[in-house]
Structures are given as structure tokens and as C-alpha cells.
Amino acid sequence: MFEIRLDGTRLEIDDSATLGDILPGHPSSCSVAVIPPAEAQAALTRNIRLQTSAGEVVIEIPEEGAAIFSEEYFAGYLNSESEPAELSVKWTDRQSVAFGPFSSEIIPDRHQHRYARGDVILGCGGYDPRTSYLIFSRIPHIADHGAQADGGVVAHVVSGMAVLEEWTKGDQILRMERMMSRADTSTAFTTTDMATPLTEGMQIFSHVLASANGYRKEGIDTTRAASVEHLLRTMGSERMTVSLASSTHIRDDRMKDSAVEFEGDPHSRFEGTITTRVQGRNRGSVYIYTEDIPGSVNHTVVGQVEQGIELPILAGGGETFIVKVEPKQLDLRGMELADALKLAKERGIIAEPDTEEMQSVVFEQKPATTLEILAEGKVALTTVPLSQVITIELFEDEAPKTCHIFRSVTGLRWYDIGKMPLLMKFEDVYLFQPEVSKKTIIHRENLPEGEVPANILAMTNDSRKTAGLVGVRTVPSAEFGPTSEPMESTNIIGKILDPEKLKGLREGKPVYLREAER
């Protein structure tokens, strides 16, 4: 038997154990970070992970502050296998929370100092260094914490600020450990191979935990609610796809080209900060930072990695890994009313629908965003009859570009229900005219070969003036495509799964769309 760490938790495992043994059921497409023992390199890092009874906090220490976090002060806590003595919350208030006591050699200044949110202060009680404390600043404040003349700031919290809000009497710092620095990446790696053997002292990170900006259990700030909603939608499948891995960040482009506005002030982008770009060619992309860089008006800060930053640091382009963001998105649109009411109740939200017909489908919700709903504790729901909601299957693999355009113009890219107006219907043909920008280029893609089966959905490409028109035929045709255009002008994008609903549609009225579960 030997010991490893899985997502910060100690595990004793069999000598022959593999990744698959400790991660049964882990998705085969999702990478895991594996960090072999690297004490020499780890000694150089400036980040320290604090394992506490309320969650994980990561602090960054300045070069001159490194000696403070040595065995001399915290014997048994830092990179030690021995059981540490108790280091618990001694006192807490709105401004700060203090862990201790322990003995230090500081010389208290007996003056007030100014502190920022997230500062970690070495102070003492009664100006006696034998009763010293690690003090975490919850909010900007001015105070006399019995610190040295320089104010006593020995570190700064870079992730886990939400944990600071939860600390109360009885909470403890259970362990401190140096985090992997970029120097360690020569031995650390990511893998999807669950047959990878494990060795003594390895650290394994299977997922990332993150918190959305403004979400706290004691109160919700909705300043960035729209931008946070974009993050929750992007990570709704609990997956991060690395479209680009650079020296300072990784980027997920799946929701690129979404309309996201700048919200709030530009904040510094510390390691673990999550942003969405609000303008430029990558507008709508989501970023996780692996190095500290200044803030930018091109980005809105939408979240913070709380645990598992090692995965973003090590992941390369094309990789996918698990990201769990708190809170989960609460979007009831596209759900049948009975299911929507059940989910709202489970989340502690009062739902106010516009109908009692349980088989109607939710099309709008007010407030629109998760943070606003959670802050208000209620949501108003606008529904449409199930008979007006058509289920479709899109041919993503055969026509990825045209399907992307179709989802964008119908709203299916952002919500689980979309719509487009019925332009006209004649004989066996139904034509729809979503709003497609004249700047949108619809290249030829997935053209029909031979007879087109009934109920196939298509979009006219740029070879005709009616580019962007969407159509379906209820009978097969070997002469014209579903939009009544020649075959070479027709991009096949999917099929309608409940064509019997087409008969009830009226010209000039919207048809509502949902995608079948994939």
C-alpha cells in the first residue's frame, strides 16, 4: 500500500492501482492532471494551498515572505506527513478572520494599517508575538492587527475567497502544501489513459471547481449577471474544451461570437481568474488564466477557480476536462412546465407560470439570468403550447458550419428552445425565414445526392438570392430540395422528428424548436 492525493484528499491505495481504479466512471474524453513527487521544484513555487475544514484556499506569497511559511512557524502543516497541531479560527468578524495562536518573532508596530480584500496578515494579540495569528482580510479595511511596521501582509488570496466568507468558529486549517509551479511541468502531465499506473506521492486532479462572480451564500451580487450567465451556459455540460493554450491562459471558443457586454470594472487577472471576452475576434470565448496579468476592458471577470488550477496549467490545445461551476445554471427555457416547476422547487425558487397546462413548454423566464433568479427567489414563466413546439435533429457532423448558423439565427445556440417564423406553406412545402445577416456566408455544405427523403430540414446556401431560407418537404423529392431550390443550392442540416405538427402552423407566426437529446 502507498499514499497519493486525489483532488487534495489523501488516499491509501494498492501498489498495482491505476487511474481507473481511483476514478471509476471518469469520462474517457476528459483529461486528468498527474503530478509526480517534485519536492525540489515545489520549493520554488510562491503558491500555497490551504486545506481547511470549510474548503480550499490558495495564497500567493511574495519572495520576501517565503520564510514565514516554514517549518519554524507551522511545523506539521507545510509539506509534512505528520499530524499537525490545531490551527483554528480564534475570532472572526465582518472584516477579517484569524487562525491561531502560535508563536512568532514579529515586532508589533502598535499602529493601524490599511488592508485590501484577500490580504493575509501576520499579527498578534495583545502585542505579544507568542500569541500570533494568520489573519485573512475579508473586505478592505483599516485596523491594528498587532502587525509589524510594514503592515504585516505576508501573502494574498488568489483563489477561494468564497471560503473566507464561510469560515466561522470551529473551522481549522488542516494542512498547507506548496503548489506546482511552471517549473514542474517537465514531469507533470495530463492524460485520458485510465490504465496509467500510480506511484507513491502522486497528486491527481480530476476536475476543476469554480465559483461564479457575485455568487455568495450570504448574498448575491447581480452586477455581472448577464456575463456570468454566459459562463454558466458555456460550462453547462461541465466541460472545458481547450481551443487555445498559451503561456498565460487557456481559452474555450465554443461560444465564440456571442453577444457579451462589458460589465463592471476591469480587474487584474490573477492565476485562476475566469473571464469572457467582450469585444474583438474572440468575443464570447471563455478564458482561464494560469499567470497573473493586468485587467482589460476587453474582458469581464466572470468567475474564479477554487480548486484544481493544475488542470488548466497543464492542459494543451484540443484537450477537454471537467469544470464544475457554482451555482449551476438555472434556465427553465425549453422544459415542459411540469419539469420546470419541479426543478425550480428543488432549487428553492418560486415559479409563477402563465398557465396551468403542464404539457406546455417554457419559452421565456423573468428574470432571465441565474443570479437574478437566485437573488429574487422567484421567476415568472411564459409558455407556448406543446403543439407549437417541433423537435428536430441536426446533422452536426455532416453540416457543422450551416448548423452553427441555424442555431445562431433561431436562438438554439444559447437556449434549449428557439424559434423562426413560417413564411409560407404550399402543397408539401413549408418555408421559414429566420433573420440571417447579409454578412453571413453560407457556403455549400452537405448537398443532397439523389432523392431527398420526407421531413428533411435544409437551408439555402449563397448560390441563390434566397440564401438563409429554411425549408422542409413532407414528401420525398428527387427534383428540388426542401427549400424548393435546386439541389446544388440546398444544404441539408437535419430532420423534423414530429412532422404531424407542421399542419397546425400558420403563416406569419413563429414555430418553436427544440433539439432532440444527443
Tell me if 315 sits within 8 A of 218, measured CB to CB: no
Give how far the C-alpha of residue 491 lies from the chain's centroid of Cα atoms, to the nearest Å: 34
Has residue 81 got a pLDDT over 50?
Answer: no
Pairing of strands 299-307, 207-212: antiparallel
Has residue 471 got a pLDDT over 80?
Answer: yes
Has residue 440 got a pLDDT over 50?
Answer: yes
Pairing of strands 320-326, 207-212: parallel
Cross-strand partners of 458: 471, 492
Amino acid sitting at position 345: K
**pTM of the entire predicted model:** 0.78
Residues 6+ apart with CB under 8 A from 445: 398, 399, 401, 402, 461, 491
Q: Which residue intervals of 267-336 are DSSP H helices?
A: 310-314
Give 398's pLDDT tier (boundaries 50, 70, 90). very high
Assigned C-alpha cell, 465: 438570392
Q: Higher model confidence: residue 285 or residue 79?
A: 285
Whole-number Å distance between alpha carbons of 44 and 63: 10
Phi, psi of 135 (to 5 degrees): -115, 125
Please state whether 211 falls in left (phi above 0), alpha (psi between -120 and 50) or beta.
beta
Express each pLDDT in 191-239 by its tens digit. Answer: 999 999 999 889 899 999 999 999 987 789 999 999 999 999 999 999 9
Query: What dihedral do alpha carbons 222, 225, 231, 236 form, nearest 10°?
Result: 90
Assigned C-alpha cell, 419: 424559434
At residue 252, the 3 state secondary structure works out as strand
pLDDT for 84: 46
**Angstrom distances, CA of residue 102 to CA of 86, 105, 129:** 10, 10, 8
Which element (helix H / strand E) includes 164? helix 161-166
Q: For the chain, give the mean pLDDT.
A: 89
pLDDT for 185: 61
pLDDT for 446: 96
Assigned C-alpha cell, 357: 397546462
**Residue corresponding to grid cell 397546425:** 504
Q: What is the DSSP letter of 237?
A: T
pLDDT for 65: 57
Q: Which residue intervals of 206-336 are DSSP H helices?
A: 225-234, 310-314
Assigned C-alpha cell, 263: 460589465
Give 180's pLDDT tier (boundaries 50, 70, 90). low
